[in-house]
Chain A
């Protein structure tokens, strides 16, 4: 069973659309992450939230806008995406951001940009 829940599972959108990806965890974790994974590649870190504050932004284009409304929820707002943004977007959570904290992944949202 997946303890990190992501919705939607699949999303197709045009380059002018605005959409949001959602992630939820109820493990009491205080760190949450967004990763992007292209086919046959490892996950690439995009954003890290620690105690609901953005702590790492890996120089992600502004067309991706993260939001952490509370300790259980993480959103990724999408606007004016490009075809190369098509990928699997994975959310993860961990107890904290310090060392020795396993990250647990959700099933991801498979995003296709037309």
Chain B
């Protein structure tokens, strides 16, 4: 089955700096890659997603890039703010088995 690796597991960034989280997937049948933000005690919230026919997508301070050849995708957060502190999960949707597989998560802490 699909395996999604996510790095780093923890990340501390000074407020105003950028944060980058990287994921790698294993199955070339995966074609949709969402990112979720989960604050403590709350639900996973979709923040951005990218489809396999697109290389980059941006939404204000958040951007996602996809390298299909290398099976890598990354989340970039610029001008970080304290409210960006949360656990971020990447995920990979496999077209073959129609399952969403999550990465292990990155705990992002923004230092004021």
Contact = CB atoms under 8 A, between A and B. Distances in A.
Interface of A: 2, 40-45, 48, 55-56, 90, 97-108
A43 B99 CA distance: 12
A90 B38 CA distance: 12
A99 B44 contact: no
Given A99-B31, A100-B51, A103-B34, A42 B102 contact: yes
Contacts, number: 52
5 contacts: A103-B34, A103-B100, A104-B46, A105-B44, A106-B43
B14 to A, nearest CB: 24
B98 interface: yes
A105 B102 contact: no
Chain A binding surface, main DSSP class: loop
B46 A97 contact: no
Interface of B: 31-32, 34, 36, 42-46, 49, 51, 89, 93, 95, 97-100, 102-105
Given A41-B105, A45-B99, A48-B98, A99 B45 contact: no
Report, nearest first, the 8 A-B pairs whose CB atoms are least far apart. A42-B102, A105-B43, A99-B31, A107-B43, A99-B32, A99-B95, A97-B98, A105-B44
Contacts of B34: 102-103
A42 B31 contact: no
Q: Residue among A43, A45, A106 with the most chain B CB within 10 A?
A: A43
Given A90-B43, A103-B34, A106-B43, A56 B99 contact: yes
Contacts of B49: 102
A87 to B, nearest CB: 14
Contacts of A43: 44, 89, 102
B61 to A, nearest CB: 20
Contacts of A105: 36, 43-45
Contact of B43 (A41, A55, A97, A108): A108
